[in-house]
Structure 1
Amino acid sequence: MNLLIDIGNSNLRWTCHGQDCAWDMAVVRHSGGVPLDLLAQWEQLEPPERLVVSNVGGQEVADALERVTRALWRRAPEYLRTEAVFGGVRIAYEEPLRLGVDRWLALIAAHELCQQACLIVDAGTAATFDLLLADGRHLGGLILPGVEMMRKSLLMGTRIPRIEADPAGEPWATDTAPAVAAGSLQGLASLATRLFDRLAAEAGQSPRLILTGGDAERIQPALDRPAQLVQDLVLRGMRCVVDAGA
């Protein structure tokens, strides 16, 4: 059994992978460490053969993870690194390591999943958009603040009242705080539409839109293009890498 661990800016996702293992993703907020409830779950596991990790959450959580895994299983985590070419995917960045490993793994998973042009939207603390052609060629991408970061940055510089909830129904609002809430969702959704249409023109066919990340379900209702929600996309990419013997 292998333990696959995806550490994002805010959340940690994990699952067991191997023969007779159920593919069952779990999600926790990590806050720069390993939460006690996660530690309690891991204490119930059989010692994994490998601990394979994607980490964009920083060194603090990486250090905490290593302390825990060495204490529990006397195993050190193995951190994946972005490669220029893998599994038919060729990334656009001239310096591969400047592309976040989570985005790289999402590209690998998306290519395996759909075998056609696709737009990958990862709506997390940051919102990333990556464009992939059917032949595995990565065209590049864009990064914006995520929903909460976008809202907080605006509230910090204005006297707009605190936002209590996401808007429902119409894509616009009739009060100031709801207008900020709607704007954060509609802005990301509108960019997804623009990139989807540009990718369709580039590929010569309608692409797939794959949506993942902690705020994916909040953004999905605002989209006006069909989207497939795949919350374990990065973990699927990790599975591809492990199964390939890396």
Structure 2
Amino acid sequence: MLLAVDAGNTNMVFALVEGREIRARWRIATDPRRTADEYAVWLNQLLQLEGLERGAVDAVIIGTVVPRALHNLQVLAQKYFAVEALVAGQGAMAWPISLDVDEPHSVGADRVLNILAAHDSHPGDLIIVDFGTATTFDLADYTGAYKGGIIAPGINLSLDALVTAAAKLPRIAIEAPATSSVIGRNTVDQMQIGIFWGYVAMIEGLVGRMKAEVGRPTKVIATGGLAVLFEQQTDIFDAIEPDLTIQGLALLRLRTHI
């Protein structure tokens, strides 16, 4: 069984994958100082809850945008699973798709993995919107090549900046406003409208501009923890796939037969 690790800026997702099926997934806050021993204690308890032993894991693959976290994850694989971790985008796990951009080395592993998984499931031109610490918009053409994209502040970052910079504004939950009105009658309502509907407008506007530039029918795939928050409030998405990055890790390992 494969242990796939998606190490993002805010959270890490650990998933047990059998073939293409995700058997279990767990999330933990990203902390580059966390040691291999700490990961092992946490994972061992979760594996036991699933009725599994550490010996069930025979391969580990890591996709990370946090370089400082990589070493301890590699030690985790060596010390507790007796395998050398595979690292997405490196060595035998080199990207099997073209990165047709000015600086291919600077493209985040999560973005390439999303494209790899989305192209495997959806033919044609694609825009992948990933709601993470940043919200990214990535364009893959019908061949599966990465053609570029957009990086925007994530909705949590936007809210944090607003609350931090304005002393009298309270911290609020990120959720759809109670009504469809965009004229708030109090401070909290006005903040929710600005954050939520402002973000929907940004998504729709940027996706619309990208589609116009492509000039061909283009599917829009959403992923990331907050994707479901917007699913009912806009018809811009053709599919919501929360596990796209993990699926990309599993597919990358299957394609290289290691």
CA offsets 1:19-51 (integer angstroms, 9 cap, x no match):
5x8423413123413385434224633253321
Letter in 2 for 1:184: I
2:60 equivalent to 1:78: no
Q: Is the 8 A contact 1:3 1:16 kept in 2?
A: yes
Q: What's the counterpart of residue 159 of structure 2?
A: 151
Instruction: State yes or no: 1:138 paired with 2:146.
Output: yes
Amino acid at match of 1:96: P
Aligned partner of 2:6 in structure 1 is 6
1:108-187 to 2 correspondences below 5 Å? 108-165=116-173, 166=175, 167-170=177-180, 172=182, 173-187=184-198
Aligned to 1:40: 45
How many residues are matched? 242
Q: Distance in 2 between matches of 1:65 and 1:241?
A: 18
Structure 2, unmatched stretches of 5+, are none
Counterpart CA distance in 2 for 1:201 and 1:41 is: 46
Are the counterparts in 1 of residues 59 and 85 from structure 2 also a CA contact under 8 Å?
A: yes
Are residues 1:23 and 2:28 paired? Answer: no
RMSD of aligned alpha carbons:
2.7
Which stretches in structure 1 are left out of the alignment for 5+ residues? none
> What is the deviation of 1:82?
7.2
Q: Tell me whether 1:237 sits opposite 2:248 in the alignment.
A: yes
Q: How far apart are residue 216 of structure 1 and its match?
A: 1.3
Q: Give the Cα separation in 1 of the matches to 2:23 and 2:139.
A: 28
Letter in 2 for 1:213: G
Tell me the CA shift for residue 188 of structure 1.
3.2
Letter in 1 for 2:190: A
Moved more, 148-157 or 217-226: 217-226
Query: In structure 2, do the counterparts of structure 1 residues 129 and 171 end up closer, same or farther at CA, with 3 Å as the change threshold?
Result: farther
Distance 2:115 2:155 in 1: 22
